[in-house]
Amino acid sequence: MILHRPSTATHQTLNLISIFPNRTDLARLVFASQNRCLCANAFRKVINLFTEKATSSSGRMAEEELSSKLMDLSGELVDNRCDSEKVGRLLESKVGSLIRSYSNGSAMVELLYLLKSWPALALEKYWPVLALEVFNWRRKLVGEDFPMTSEEYAKGITIAGRVKNVGLAVDLFMECVSYGMKTTSVYNALMGAYMYNGLPEKCQSLFRELKKEVDCKPTIVTYNILISVFGQLMMVDHMEATFTEINSLGLSPNLSTYNSLIAGYVVAWMWEDMERMFHVMEESPIKPDVDTYLLMLRGYAHSGNLEKMEKTYELVKNCLNDQKIEKLMMLVPEDDYRPWLNVLLIKTYAQENLLEGMEKSIRKAFEQKTIVMTVDVMRSIITTYFRSNALDSLTNFVKEAENSGWRICRSLYHCKMVMYSSQNRLEEMENVLEEMEKCNLDPTKKTFLIMYKAYSKWGQRSKLERLLGTMCKHGFGIPLDALSS
């Protein structure tokens, strides 16, 4: 499968002259929509480009000029990503002179950001590979009296983490430190690399080192990383202690802070705390965004709170309707298949709870051998099948996704188990464990909790007792309600 960057012809088919007479603004709209999967927040930010007054700020003008120059260069790099020699020639002939004009490193940082933004790379796992190649080229220029900045190092550390090369990430961190550039951004980057690669202990250890530094200190980004780590590990007490520390230090929680906290409670199935944190967020200066509501929707779906789930979905639905995807799609030729656009449609149909449209786009992706590796897209699909109570359709999708090399996550199987449980199909629920084993997915505490609730609901006392023994054997402990029964 060959993925291309958006062609000029495709941009022309999306040229909504009656709405956006300025072609430059339209290009920004299309690019931003590709980059952010058309999420409502990003779309509103793009719309603001057409309503705000022009600014005379030289800094902003310089930033826009730089981004414009690098846009085409990043596209050329994406087109030639499979040919290292061509990439090298492009970097030498076109990129080198440009980034040398920005000694503060902003050109390289912007270029690496744009590479991640291209749909052909963002929807697959290609962008870190190309980005690392570009970064390594930049790193070689250091010997030519062109020193790197801490922000460039931070980008490189992040990229190394994404290609799962933790050793390189650590080397870049130490190299940056050796040049006397100990900054919070490089600490955050390495903490993020540890988090991405499932190394929570090293992430926490680095955090403790940062707290000892004199010249730099943790920021809200640092604490957000910690909250995300603790949330993924279901270490709720640590997660809450981190939030308490944020407040005691006088730092201002941001959108990521609250979303990470809510996500942590969802992972731990702590529905009351999930709602409590949502209300804390509502009362703060930071207001929920679409991602927040989708997290709440997921929580209500798993907890079986249909009334609140429907109310929350109405809020998300209204935001997503503003995107008017169908209107844009009418302007795209039917035979002009674009993998990135089809994946956006899958996610949008899923978020709109349009099962038929979602499955049509999924079938198209399977036929075209498009591989989806984005967790958010997979979770949106899962949630839609759950809301529609389409268990057989979900089962067929999981099999097809496995065979097609799509991103497989435990949520797929957990959702099947919950749906089998709701229909008292306990034997089929138990068989899901074998499916997980074939995909090298070990059962987690959540897996056993699903089974525990199923056996409790349907009065399977003997199976329940055996399960409690298994949970103890795995070190997951015994649910509190089991102790009181």
Query: Residues 37-76: pLDDT tens digits?
Result: 333 333 333 333 333 334 444 555 566 666 777 777 777 7
Pairwise pLDDT comparison (223 vs 3), residue with the higher score: 223
pLDDT band at 157 (very low <50, low <70, confident <90, very high): very high
Based on the number of CB atoms within 10 Å of its own CB, is 34 exposed (0-12), middle (13-18) or buried (19 or more)? buried
- Compute CA distances 420 → 271, 391, 413, 428, whole Å: 21, 8, 10, 7
When pLDDT is averaged across residues 418-444 and rounded to a whole number, the result is 93
| Domain edges within the chain | 425-480
Pairwise pLDDT comparison (335 vs 240), residue with the higher score: 240
Question: Token digits for 349?
Answer: 């149909």
When pLDDT is averaged across residues 432-455 and rounded to a whole number, the result is 92
Query: Residues 331-341: pLDDT tens digits?
Result: 555 666 778 77
pLDDT band at 399 (very low <50, low <70, confident <90, very high): very high
When pLDDT is averaged across residues 180-197 and rounded to a whole number, the result is 92
* The residue to which tokens 């075209």 are assigned: 368
Pairwise pLDDT comparison (113 vs 185), residue with the higher score: 185
Q: Residue 54 has what pLDDT? A: 40
When pLDDT is averaged across residues 258-274 and rounded to a whole number, the result is 93
* The residue to which tokens 């996704």 are assigned: 401
Go through 439-470 and write b for each residue having 16 or more CB atoms within 10 A of its CB, e for each that does not: eebebbbbbbbbbbbbbbeeebeebbeebbee
Comparing C-alpha atoms, which of 30, 26, 22, 117 is closest to residue 75? 117
pLDDT at 326 over 70: no
- Compute CA distances 152 → 58, 109, 136, 147, 286, whole Å: 23, 6, 11, 10, 30
Question: Token digits for 251?
Answer: 């730092």
Pairwise pLDDT comparison (320 vs 195), residue with the higher score: 195
Which percentage of the chain shows pLDDT scores above 70?
78
Q: Residue 101 has what pLDDT? A: 74
Based on the number of CB atoms within 10 Å of its own CB, is 215 exposed (0-12), middle (13-18) or buried (19 or more)? exposed
Based on the number of CB atoms within 10 Å of its own CB, is 434 exposed (0-12), middle (13-18) or buried (19 or more)? exposed
- Model pTM? 0.55
Q: Residue 68 has what pLDDT? A: 72
pLDDT at 14 over 60: no
When pLDDT is averaged across residues 125-149 and rounded to a whole number, the result is 79
pLDDT at 26 over 60: no
Pairwise pLDDT comparison (5 vs 409), residue with the higher score: 409
Gyration radius (Cα) of the chain, Å: 24
pLDDT at 120 over 60: no
Instruction: Spell out the residues 6+ positions from residue 356 whose beta carbon is closer than 8 angstroms to its own.
Output: none
* Virtual torsion, Cα 407, 411, 413, 414, nearest 10 deg: 170
Question: Token digits for 405?
Answer: 């090399």
Q: Residue 354 has what pLDDT? A: 85
Number of Cα atoms under 13 Å in the Cβ half of residue 314: 5
Q: Residue 378 has what pLDDT? A: 93
Residue 41 identity (one-letter amino acid): N
Distance CA 433, CA 382 (A): 18
When pLDDT is averaged across residues 374-379 and rounded to a whole number, the result is 88
Q: Residue 118 has what pLDDT? A: 64
Number of Cα atoms under 13 Å in the Cβ half of residue 296: 26
Q: Residue 320 has what pLDDT? A: 56
* The residue to which tokens 């650590």 are assigned: 170
Range name among 17-31, 224-238, 393-407 with the lowest pLDDT average: 17-31
Q: Residue 427 has what pLDDT? A: 94
Question: Token digits for 153?
Answer: 């190092």
Q: Across all residues in the chain, what is the average pLDDT?
A: 79
